Structure 1
């Protein structure tokens, strides 16, 4: 057990339901008798709270159910609250706690979080704007009156043009995501322990893992592209007839399902690679092990996360888009009536500012959800909460596990 971002090596905790070596609470012992016997000196009935406290003592109404209240059912009632040295309680997390933990990290460590996300977002957006303005060819327009084979040809040319023009922006955004994810994962790992971290410290921790993280991202991208190609090739081999298009469509749907299943299965590979210092292939195996049996829960949390990001994107994009179009033309009427749009610097700058705001908020939120999902699964499978409590210095967790 150490204070590094990985907290503990994977082998230091039981896995897959094994809980050997987890400390058990000691048997109650008092100074006047053997273990398991209550002291003969019991407090008088009705005075479990100090007599000076308001609303206590004989004749006072019973306390509400819950912590410190009337026991519910057999045993001693509700279990004690879990320790919370940082942004999350050290126990299995609910969906709301994972989302709240990501937001709490942004709010608590806003200097470091917004510092890295804003810096990377601004640099990436400037590069994207310059590439779009000076390096990319103009997109091919589509004649709305074209029919038959000519319409299909124009649609194919337009799709190819859009793919070429969007590739540099996608590559730049991927690199920006890698940098922010690596640094923010370190910040979140410290925030779980209730510890702050400066931007230079987080960068120093994350920098050695950038190349493995890049390799992981490229491997997953190539895997997805290969699966999509396998799904589309049979239909494309049949030509442009109805049968070929139908087979290509079915192959596309099947490939999307397989890619989605694999991406959810490997979604915790990046946190494992960063926090456990694992290799690329080992991090993929770790993610598959942690997600096993919880695929649908992981999918639901990620779907909710990206839905919130989409809502945030729409809230920011729509007003910035309207302002950009208004500044760059004679108004919305010209934009709506124009068959092709050739926007200048005002449009690119205003929309770029909107994209920077979106990225600055979305990067740390999604990185936080990913990291806390990883922490939650390790708590559920490997009792990581004990190691986290010990690393955070929570009283009562000083004895290392065997």
Structure 2
């Protein structure tokens, strides 16, 4: 072990080569060299016995090995690999999709005081800021003329889109800052829960605080990178204007979106690498790219599944609170009439409560899946399970490591 909280030295990551201390298969020897080492005096070749028993060699029959000797046991006993150690929320071996999701939920259950203390605090502060922004800073939605021509309707739609993007910037900034703190703190909680060790909110903050500036830079860099790529893709068609410009924007925008999606998955493990390995921003991006290499579709599928599940959970919570908010503010009759409601304080407060409850559940799951994907990739590529077992003090894996070294303080 070393001083790195990621259980491996950042300068000797086995993605760049073989990891010292991890058993590797022996290199094949050259046949000509091997042949030269045989003795010239060899015993006679053994006789082959026909399946029917003809031409059987004389002499006492040879003793056959007992069934399952050295093989997989039937109902327990000898043979077979031992079960993987599980000091915390996951077994220390390559993980399946269900085990990754279960590990994220198990972290929420095992450390619910710390996890809810983080998520509820961040969600409440974020929602208060968001309510104030929506109440006092958000401009009124643009009115669309139903009698406008096709060209005028397109221009009005573009104006409404630009206005919506500008007005959503404060909300996006608030969400970004909230995600920053939850990601930093929950990463430390999950890293300790893998080892089966307790962690408090003060412990998580003390370990995460030195990495917050780098995490902020990474959190800002990825959206800016995505926005720049999308701008390059959409801008030519937007400047051209008209029907041809819209068609061009759709084509180039779709291509830009594919590029952004590929990059976001490729860099999706950068945040855990930055926090747990104490990497710089650029090195954490490179580290994530190496870990994701060859497993892009698997990580994309697990990430997409997590997004869908958290979206469903959010909708299950948000829809009832939204209906209650409509009834308390404008009445359900206003919703059914089709006119645009004017939201007041009751609506904003009730929907804010629903958003806090949803965030308290979905934030830990999203962060847990991200960190466990990072750990899973390192187990698959770098035998991190051996380091984790040593850090957890499991017998048979070497001397027990100091708690500070394993947990990242």
Q: Sort the TM-score into its range (normalised by shorter chain).
A: 0.7 to 0.9
Report the alpha carbon displacement of residue 147 of structure 1 after superposing the two structures with TM.
Answer: 3.3
Structure 1, gaps ≥5 residues long: 25-44, 46-62
Report the alpha carbon displacement of residue 126 of structure 1 after superposing the two structures with TM.
Answer: 0.4
The residue number in structure 1 matching 2:296 is: 295
* Separation of aligned partners in 1, 2:3 and 2:320: 45
1:217 aligns with 2:219: yes
Report the alpha carbon displacement of residue 5 of structure 1 after superposing the two structures with TM.
Answer: 3.4
State whether residues 183 and 367 of structure 2, in contact with CA within 8 Å, keep that contact through their aligned partners in structure 1: yes
TM alignment of 1:171-190, pairs within 5 A? 171-190=173-192
Report the alpha carbon displacement of residue 16 of structure 1 after superposing the two structures with TM.
Answer: 6.5
After superposition, the CA RMSD in angstroms is 2.3
State whether residues 118 and 360 of structure 1, in contact with CA within 8 Å, keep that contact through their aligned partners in structure 2: yes
Report the alpha carbon displacement of residue 306 of structure 1 after superposing the two structures with TM.
Answer: 0.3
The residue number in structure 2 matching 1:369 is: 369
The residue number in structure 2 matching 1:249 is: 250
Report the alpha carbon displacement of residue 225 of structure 1 after superposing the two structures with TM.
Answer: 1.0
| Further displaced range: 275-284 or 128-137 | 128-137
Structure 2, gaps ≥5 residues long: 25-65, 67-71, 402-409
* Separation of aligned partners in 1, 2:2 and 2:208: 17
Count of aligned pairs? 356
SS at match of 1:326: helix
Report the alpha carbon displacement of residue 334 of structure 1 after superposing the two structures with TM.
Answer: 1.3
* Separation of aligned partners in 1, 2:354 and 2:278: 35
Larger radius of gyration: 2
Q: TM-score, normalised by structure 2?
A: 0.82
State whether residues 186 and 202 of structure 1, in contact with CA within 8 Å, keep that contact through their aligned partners in structure 2: yes
The residue number in structure 1 matching 2:33 is: none
Report the alpha carbon displacement of residue 12 of structure 1 after superposing the two structures with TM.
Answer: 5.3
TM alignment of 1:326-341, pairs within 5 A? 326-329=327-330, 331-341=331-341
The residue number in structure 2 matching 1:275 is: 276
* Separation of aligned partners in 1, 2:21 and 2:118: 40
Report the alpha carbon displacement of residue 219 of structure 1 after superposing the two structures with TM.
Answer: 1.1
Superposition misfits of 4+ residues, deviation over 6 angstroms: none
SS at match of 1:15: helix
Report the alpha carbon displacement of residue 22 of structure 1 after superposing the two structures with TM.
Answer: 2.4
State whether residues 13 and 384 of structure 1, in contact with CA within 8 Å, keep that contact through their aligned partners in structure 2: no
| Further displaced range: 382-391 or 138-147 | 138-147
TM alignment of 1:91-170, pairs within 5 A? 91-170=93-172
State whether residues 393 and 400 of structure 2, in contact with CA within 8 Å, keep that contact through their aligned partners in structure 1: no
Pair 1:91–1:391, CA change in 2 (3 A)? same
* Separation of aligned partners in 2, 1:205 and 1:372: 18
State whether residues 16 and 382 of structure 1, in contact with CA within 8 Å, keep that contact through their aligned partners in structure 2: no
Report the alpha carbon displacement of residue 13 of structure 1 after superposing the two structures with TM.
Answer: 6.0
| Further displaced range: 97-106 or 2-11 | 2-11
State whether residues 321 and 351 of structure 2, in contact with CA within 8 Å, keep that contact through their aligned partners in structure 1: yes
The residue number in structure 1 matching 2:393 is: 393
State whether residues 17 and 381 of structure 1, in contact with CA within 8 Å, keep that contact through their aligned partners in structure 2: no
Report the alpha carbon displacement of residue 244 of structure 1 after superposing the two structures with TM.
Answer: 1.6
Report the alpha carbon displacement of residue 275 of structure 1 after superposing the two structures with TM.
Answer: 0.3
Report the alpha carbon displacement of residue 343 of structure 1 after superposing the two structures with TM.
Answer: 0.7
Report the alpha carbon displacement of residue 155 of structure 1 after superposing the two structures with TM.
Answer: 1.8
Q: How big is each residue's C-alpha offset from its partner over 1:26-62, in whole Å with a ceiling of 9 and x where there is no partner?
A: xxxxxxxxxxxxxxxxxxx9xxxxxxxxxxxxxxxxx
* Separation of aligned partners in 1, 2:387 and 2:297: 27
SS at match of 1:84: coil
State whether residues 2 and 391 of structure 1, in contact with CA within 8 Å, keep that contact through their aligned partners in structure 2: no
Report the alpha carbon displacement of residue 248 of structure 1 after superposing the two structures with TM.
Answer: 0.8
SS at match of 2:237: helix
State whether residues 5 and 186 of structure 1, in contact with CA within 8 Å, keep that contact through their aligned partners in structure 2: no
Report the alpha carbon displacement of residue 154 of structure 1 after superposing the two structures with TM.
Answer: 2.4
The residue number in structure 1 matching 2:197 is: 195
Pair 1:92–1:153, CA change in 2 (3 A)? same
